[in-house]
Amino acid sequence: MHTVTAYAAPSATEPLVRTRIERRDVGPSDVLIEIKYAGICHSDIHTVRGDWGPQNYPLAPGHEIAGIVTEVGSAVTKHAVGDRVGVGCMVNSCRECVHCRGGEEQYCREGNIGTYGSVDRDGTITQGGYSTHVVVDEDFVLRVPVSIDFAAAAPLLCAGITTYSPLKHWGAGPGKKVAIVGMGGLGHMAVQIAHALGADVTVLSQTLSKKDDGVRLGADHYYATSDPTTFTDLADTFDLIVNTVSAHIDINSYLQLLTLDGTLVNVGAPSEPLPVEVFSLILGRRSFAGSAIGGIRETQEMLDFCAEHGIAPETELIAADQINDAYERVLTSDVRYRFVIDTATLL
Residues 6+ apart with CB under 8 A from 241: 178, 179, 180, 181, 204, 254, 257, 258, 262, 263, 264, 265
Residue 345 CA to residue 30 CA, distance in Å, equals: 26
Q: What does the alpha-carbon distance between residue 56 and residue 50 come to, in Å, rounded to a whole number?
A: 10
- Tens of pLDDT, residues 139-195: 999 999 999 999 999 999 999 999 999 999 999 999 999 999 999 999 999 999 999
**For the chain, how many residues are written?**
347
Condensed to tens digits (0 to 9), the pLDDT of residues 203-239 reads 999 999 999 999 999 999 999 999 999 999 999 999 9
Q: Answer whether residue 92 shows pLDDT above 80.
A: yes
Helix axis angle, 161-169 relative to 296-309, nearest 10°? 100
Q: Residue 247 pLDDT > 90, yes or no?
A: no
Q: Model confidence over 252-300: pLDDT tens digits?
A: 999 999 999 999 999 988 878 889 999 999 999 999 999 999 999 999 9
pLDDT at 236: 98
Rounded CA separation 337/340 (Å): 10
The phi and psi torsions of 271 (rounded to 5 degrees) equal -85, 0
CA distance readout (Å), 51 to 129, 254, 270, 325, 344: 20, 25, 9, 19, 30
pTM: 0.96
Pairing status of strand 177-181 against strand 30-39: unpaired
Q: Give the model's confidence band at 1: pLDDT under 50 very low, under 70 low, under 90 confident, else very high.
A: confident
pLDDT of residue 9: 98
Q: What span, in angstroms and rounded, lies between the C-alpha atoms of 229 and 234?
A: 8
Q: pLDDT value at position 25? A: 95
